[in-house]
Chains A and B, each alone.
Chain A
Amino acid sequence: MEYTKQEFMAIVTGREIKDGQLIILGVGLSMLAGYFAHLNHAPDLRPFTEGGVYGSTPVGGLPWGIECNRISANATSFTNAIDALGFLVASGRCDNAVIGAAQVDKFGNVNTTGIWEEPPWKLGKYVPPRVRLNGSGGANDIAVGAKSYLIMASHEKRRFIEKVDYISSPGYLDGGDARERCGFVGGGPSAIISTLGILRPDPDTKEFFLDAYFPSTNVEEVKASTGWDLKVSPDIKMVPEPTEQELANLRTVDTTGSLRKKG
């Protein structure tokens, strides 16, 4: 069965999503994972977007944006950002979410803001980034307010680093009870799903360890692709390959195959 790394990552992320959850989804892989879950095993999933689009499933392929007509065509309600990110997420009502990351570190902190020659926290001053990314968007609000959330990222050493250049969306900060000390409503990231495996946080230290790896790789390769000394679960597992049904359901969402082309 042929499938891409991106497709597998979306399916594995989707498997983490439970039926009945109130879930906020962003554009691209996040939406693909969410609507795959909706179609595959979570018929009563309650997905919404940070712009306030409720109750819809995309038509005509993956939406170009979270306000695109492909997601607006069969919505049951349109509201706004203060409703979606405030009344539902910041209030602590939202069960789950999926966010992306340009960089992620061992405590699940995410950078989607910029890449610096020397990170601001090293320089002791703020300077313009060498590469500007998108900013946090709603991911910071989700990271702070959702009961739990999932992080998706391509597993490369330059992305999985000891400490991110800039924390756009806080995971467990410097570990332990750091989130509690900040007074965040939400519980933090429950998993990092990469193109190589699944990482989960240690219950006490909150450092992410390798819980399972994809059939296409092995533990050594995952460790070598990680920029910190990645700990491995004593009962490390291999992630089951996508079933034909899962793949069919995923491609029913991604009808235009936009993520199949990405390899």
Chain B
Amino acid sequence: MHNKLMTMQEAVAAYTWDGMTYCHGAAFPVGSDSVAFGKEMVKQGRKDLNVICHCGSSQVNLLAAVGAVRRVEVGFSGLEVYGFANGLNRAVTSGQTIIEDYSNGAMAFRFFGGAMNWPFVPATVNICNDQQWCSGDEPQVYPATAKIPTITDPFTGQTLGAFRSLRPEVAAIHVTMADIHGNAIMLGSEWSRFEMSRAAEKVVLVADKIVDTDCMRQYPNLVRIIAEVVDAVVYWPLCSWPQASCGLYDSDEEHMFYMNKAMKTAEDTEDYCRKWVRSYETPEQYLDLIGHEKIAKISATETAFLMDPYRKWIKSDAQVAELLDRAKG
């Protein structure tokens, strides 16, 4: 199995394009998400995106705030205790971004359907209410009939909703640790990363840590994302920042509020991007920008003990650099 390490810049250049159907995950509002990948998409000027995310997060908030999102499908679009996602909401209320609403459960079922290569998934959620009848894709039709058509259970006669399965073109999935082949262990709640990794046509892992494959051999039950479905692995420490990564760092409360406030207007969003998105190239520069005092503070997390079993397999930055060179071969 080959070494799939590549730089963030290379991964975004190779696996994203204008007009694509892009899925980011875990897509938590406050926890694990491939936020740094989304920032690189902003830097590379991606636009006209069809974004699928389980729950909105700082990533889709930023992508929508810069005007890169044509359409988004979500189960939840806010930032939990940090408030409504100002950038996404600005894009939605102005009509710039079409939002197609489902529930979190429906999104999970739809990823499962995509992973199984089923055309649709039957369920009783989201029916008999406006999630079934209002459609961002069909704004002229109410009640919408094409969004969640009803079907009849051939065994019992019960009415069910038929949900279109999700097959994103590319998913950029945050993981706590991955090996160079794309086997990954996630700490914390998984949301839909397992199904998402099987549903997407291409999968890029964005990992906080790179570990030796021996780590996977020690904990094979915990390896929920497998090399067989992964196309590329990016090493990017604190890749979920300002959101949290279980076992490694807490959400940066101050920056979460600051970033979301900036997303309220196009001017402040541009100012934010100048300071916090376009001002670094390497992981080292990124960490310097966040600030080592801040990093020490958020890394003193109550969940740090969860990393203890894995520490001996973590590759140093120098080792990862060497592996990256070898991957370029």
A interface residue numbers (CB < 8 A to B)? 27-28, 49-53, 59-60, 62-70, 72-73, 78-82, 85-86, 89-90, 109, 113, 120-121, 123-141, 144-145, 166-170, 173, 178, 182-185, 258
Neighbour of A80 across the interface among B133, B135, B192, B302, CB < 8 A? B192
Q: Which of B2-30 contact A (CB under 8 A)?
A: 26, 28-30
Q: A69-B302, A79-B190, A89-B105 are in contact. Are A64 and B93 (CB under 8 A)?
A: no
Question: Is B144's CB under 8 angstroms from A126's CB?
Answer: yes
Min CB gap A187→B, angstroms: 14
In-complex Cβ contact of B130 among A67, A113, A123, A134 (8 A)? A113
Q: Is the CB of A140 within 8 A of B103?
A: yes
Interface segment among B44-52, B76-84, B271-279: the answer is: B76-84
List B220-247 residues whose CB lies under 8 Å from chain A.
244, 246
Partner of B189, one of A52, A126, A134: A52
Check B31 for interface membership: any CB of A closer than 8 A. yes
- Check if A138 sits within 8 Å of B105, measured CB to CB: yes
Residue of B nearest to A183 (CB): B158
- Do B81 and A27 touch across chains, with their CB atoms under 8 A apart? yes
| Distance between Cα atoms of A60 and B189 in the complex (Å) | 19
B125 surroundings in chain A (CB, below 8 A): 90, 140-141, 144-145
Chain B binding site: helix, strand, loop or mixed by DSSP?
loop
B56 to chain A, nearest CB (A): 8
Q: Which of A66, A80, A135, A168 is the one whose CB lies under 8 Å from B129?
A: A168
Contact A72 B189 (CB under 8 A): yes
B251: nearest chain-A partner, CB-CB: A64
A72 and B246 contact, CB distance less than 8 A: yes
Quote the shortest CB–CB distance from B296 to chain A (angstroms).
15
| Shortest CB distance B267–A (Å) | 20
A178 to B129, CA, bound (A): 11
B84 neighbours in A (Cβ, 8 Å): 132-134
Pairwise interchain contact B188-A126, C-beta atoms closer than 8 A: no
Q: In the complex, what distance in Å separates the CA atom of A185 from the CA atom of B123? A: 11
Give the 9 A-B CB pairs with smallest separation, nearest first.
A65-B30, A67-B31, A141-B105, A51-B189, A134-B78, A85-B105, A137-B76, A140-B103, A65-B80
B153-181 contact mask (Cβ, 8 Å, vs A): 1 or 0: 00000111000000000000000000000
Judging by beta carbons under 8 Å apart, are B134 and A80 in contact? no
Contact A136 B131 (CB under 8 A): yes
Count of chain A to chain B residue pairs whose CB atoms are closer than 8 Å in the complex:
241
When chains A and B are docked, how far (Å) is the Cα of A121 from the Cα of B132? 12
A86 to B159, CA, bound (A): 18
Cβ-based interface call for B194 (8 A): yes
10 contacts between A and B (CB under 8 A): A49-B189, A65-B81, A72-B187, A78-B188, A80-B192, A82-B192, A89-B105, A138-B103, A141-B106, A166-B134
Note all chain B residues with C-beta closer than 8 A to A90. Answer: 105, 123-125
Instruction: From A51, A62, A109, A169, give the contact of B81 (CB < 8 A).
Output: A62
- Whether A64 pairs with B103 at a CB distance below 8 angstroms is no
Residues of the B chain whose Cβ atoms lie less than 8 Å from the Cβ of A67:
26, 28, 30-32, 188-189, 191, 244, 246
B42 close to chain A: CB less than 8 A: no
Q: Which of A78, A81, A120, A134 contacts B192 (CB 8 A)?
A: A81
The one of A51, A124, A144 that contacts B28, using a Cβ cutoff of 8 Å: A51
Residues of A contacting B89 in the complex (Cβ-Cβ under 8 angstroms): 131-132
**Residue in B88, B109, B256 with the greatest tally of chain A CB atoms within 10 Å:** B109
Which residue of B30, B54, B80, B160 contacts A81 across the interface (Cβ within 8 Å)?
B54
Known contacts: A64-B80, A90-B123, A168-B131. The answer to whether A80 contacts B108 by CB under 8 A is yes
With a cutoff of 8 Å between Cβ atoms, the chain A residues found around residue B28 in the complex are 51, 65, 67
**Are A69 and B303 interface neighbours, CB within 8 A?**
yes
CA of A20 to CA of B138, assembled, Å: 45
A65-B81, A125-B139, A132-B77 as given contacts; A141 in contact with B189, CB under 8 Å: no
Query: How many whole Å from A119's CB to the nearest CB in chain B?
Result: 9
Q: When the two chains form their complex, are residues B109 and A82 in contact, meaning their CB atoms are under 8 A apart?
A: yes
* B292-325 interface (Cβ within 8 A of A): 301-303, 306
Give the residues in chain B near A185, CB-CB below 8 Å.
124
B193 beta carbon closer than 8 Å to chain A: yes
Please name the residue on chain A nearest to B103 by beta carbon. Answer: A140
Q: Which of B111, B135, B190, B302 is close to A60, meaning CB atoms less than 8 Å apart?
A: B302
Query: Does A80 lie within 8 Å of B194, measured CB to CB?
Result: yes
Chain A, Cβ-Cβ closest to B111 = A82
Chain B, residue nearest A128 (CB): B95
Are B189 and A125 in contact (CB-based, < 8 A)? no
